[in-house]
Structure 1
Amino acid sequence: MDRFRQGRVQALVAAGLPYLPGADWERREQEWMGPRPMTPDGPPLTGPVPGRPRILLATGHNMLGLTLAPATGRLVAGLLTGEADPGLAARFAPSRSVRLRRGRGLSG
């Protein structure tokens, strides 16, 4: 199990400052850590839930969250407007996780 690192909190605060300049960053009350969700094959799940096309997921980024955030935002926007690149949407589609589990016998 990983341990809480105050330096990571400071890095997140520094990264957030430009986006939330009005936030009172000194009055943080709760600092904690949790598991980073990761998919069995690595890339995040971004797109409609199989069988529930009106529900979109954008999860499983693991350590890539800050790196992929702009691309995830563009993909979600494209999926909502019908303008998403079909090839890109297929690479991140949650339905691939279902295929992986059936095809490779992954548990979970």
Structure 2
Amino acid sequence: MARNDPQFNLRIPAELKQRIEAQAERYGISTTAAIVGALDEQFPAIITTEDVFALLRAVEDFQRKHPERPMPYDVYRSLADWLHHREMELDLPRTPAKGHMLK
């Protein structure tokens, strides 16, 4: 983390502080890194639909440039499932199609 990252002052119980320090020492990291790591796991970054479509476009660009290295169908299916959970639909075939590209 950079010195210009925002600071967040927090009061915590002494026992929790000791557990954080012990874990940081065990992994050879700072207490700040241990806390940030735990918070990052608890509060993951939000992936937007736009992020997923950008990823799909990048995958397609890769496919066009490297047709000899087809992308596994389950990558497309996983992204479509994610979008479906967001109440969106992505037009994908029910079975893998050789060289399938998203439209």
**Range into which the TM-score falls when normalised by the shorter chain:** under 0.3
Higher relative contact order (CA 8 A, sep 6+): 1
Q: Which has the higher helix share?
A: 2
Larger radius of gyration: 2
TM-score (norm 2): 0.24
